[in-house]
Amino acid sequence: KTERVFLFSSESVNEGHPDKVCDQVSDAVLDACLTADPKSKVACETATKDNMVMVAGEITTQAKIDYEKVVRGVVAKIGFDSYVDDLSSVDSKGLSDKTCEVLVRINKQSPDIAGGVHVGKEDLDVGAGDQGIMFGYASDETEDCMPLTHSMATRLGKTLTDVRKSGKLWWLRPDGKTQVTIEYLQHADGSVEPQKIHTVVISTQHAEPSK
């Protein structure tokens, strides 16, 4: 084996990115259900577009959840508090916790899934209601054991959020994305070593500061 040089990239999205907004809403619904009823069965999906947030799925719980309140709370916490149907608007953030349309399409868990997952089963003998494949690894590149590209991308994104919420950069908006590419050297024994930062990309929702 010989040494080789390669590029590796990691991407991170901010809390206001549509994908992350939806993740946070679904997580908040799950948290609300489990807080009131630890035996809740929750399969919740979220979608958002043009000042609208929809939660849908199958939930069986004894909890009495105000789904609209949960949605608006998440949207407000992120910082989406203004919507104007005008792309040239300096004030619009694309979503408002006060005026957004909240659609709720939630039914109880399917009996077929319930039978395969938990009904009639012991607590330690439950099944799975879905399949998923995940992969990852711990790295000695950073103290948090994450790849250096990932750590840098997430820290850049966190900084964007911090200066937005502090008001230091008033024109920043909640949606944003960062990507970091690093050049690595792979040694003959297979180990890799970061050599230099190759590319940094920061994309962020913003108002026009000059207006």
Consecutive H or E run containing 102? strand 101-107
Q: What is the pLDDT of residue 108?
A: 80
Over residues 198-211, mean pLDDT = 86
Check whether 211 has a pLDDT greater than 60. Answer: no
Q: What is the pLDDT of residue 119?
A: 65
Q: How many CB atoms lie within 10 A of CB 167?
A: 8
Q: What is the pLDDT of residue 118?
A: 63
Check whether 190 has a pLDDT greater than 80. Answer: yes
Q: How far is CA 61 from CA 42, 73, 143, 209, in A?
A: 8, 21, 40, 47
Task: 188-192: list long-range contacts, CB under 8 Å, 24+ apart.
Answer: 188/1, 188/2, 188/3, 189/1, 190/1
- The half-sphere exposure of 45 on its side-chain side, counting CA atoms within 13 A, is 6
CB 26 within 8 A of CB 13: no
Confidence of residue 160 (pLDDT cuts 50, 70, 90): very high
Question: Cα Rg for the chain, rounded, in angstroms?
Answer: 22
Confidence of residue 9 (pLDDT cuts 50, 70, 90): very high
Short-list 128, 89, 76, CA closest to 206: 89
Each residue's pLDDT tens digit, 88-134: 888 899 999 999 999 999 988 766 666 566 666 676 676 666 677 88
**10: β partners:** 180
Give me the domains of the chain, ranges plus CATH numbers.
4-15+136-206 (3.30.300.10), 18-125 (3.30.300.10)
172 torsion bin: left (phi>0), alpha (psi -120 to 50), beta (else): beta
- Range in 11-15, 118-122, 129-133, 182-186 the model is least confident about: 118-122
Confidence of residue 80 (pLDDT cuts 50, 70, 90): very high
CA torsion 186→190→192→198, rounded to 10°? 30
The torsion angles phi and psi of 86, rounded to 5 degrees, stand at: -155, 115
Each residue's pLDDT tens digit, 19-40: 999 999 999 999 999 999 998 8
Q: What is the pLDDT of residue 139?
A: 87
Check whether 179 has a pLDDT greater than 90. Answer: yes
Over residues 41-45, mean pLDDT = 91
Rounded distance between C-alpha atoms, residue 60 and residue 89, angstroms = 42
Rounded distance between C-alpha atoms, residue 84 and residue 90, angstroms = 9
Rounded distance between C-alpha atoms, residue 84 and residue 93, angstroms = 8
Helix (H, G, I), strand (E, B) or coil at 81: strand
Q: What is the pLDDT of residue 148?
A: 94
Q: What is the pTM for the complete model shown?
A: 0.84
Q: What is the pLDDT of residue 41?
A: 87
Q: How many CB atoms lie within 10 A of CB 168?
A: 9
